[in-house]
Amino acid sequence: SAVISQKPSRDICQRGTSLTIQCQVDSQVTMMFWYRQQPGQSLTLIATANQGSEATYESGFVIDKFPISRPNLTFSTLTVSNMSPEDSSIYLCSVEEGAGSSYNEQFFGPGTRLTVL
């Protein structure tokens, strides 16, 4: 499976600031996803990021709050804007392998643990 890295691995930020999280993959992938996992909770999909098109956001998530870039097939960024303590969470990127087949397996990066004070 693809090797996925995220930066930063963790950060502590002040309310009202923004943080950009980077996701790098060691091979070209069509579909990348951004998830949030709040403490003690399961994963919630924020958006799907495909290269060459606008990200598709899930209900409850908006581009102004979580702008996403996908400049090429190996890289994506998620920005958490105007942060509040409620944004404290683990943010995960994932990539889909087996695209074009029936497999649709997703593999996750190591995550970014964000704490907002």
Binding site for another protein (CB under 8 A): 1, 31, 33, 41-43, 45, 48, 58, 90, 92, 96, 102-111
- Nearest approach, Cβ of residue 74 and another protein (Å): 19
Which residue's CB is nearer to another protein, number 13 or number 45? 45
Which residue's CB is nearer to another protein, number 59 or number 84? 59
DSSP state of 55: P
- Nearest approach, Cβ of residue 82 and another protein (Å): 26
Which residue's CB is nearer to another protein, number 26 or number 105? 105
CA dihedral 12, 8, 44, 55 (to 10 degrees): 120
User: Given CA atoms 58, 59, 61, 64 in this order, what sign does their dihedral have?
Assistant: positive
Structural tokens at position 57? 């956001």
Which residue's CB is nearer to another protein, number 16 or number 110? 110
- Nearest approach, Cβ of residue 44 and another protein (Å): 8
- Nearest approach, Cβ of residue 9 and another protein (Å): 11
Which candidate, 59, 41, 34, 49, places its Cα nearest to that of 111? 34
CA–CA separation, 32 and 76 (whole Å): 8
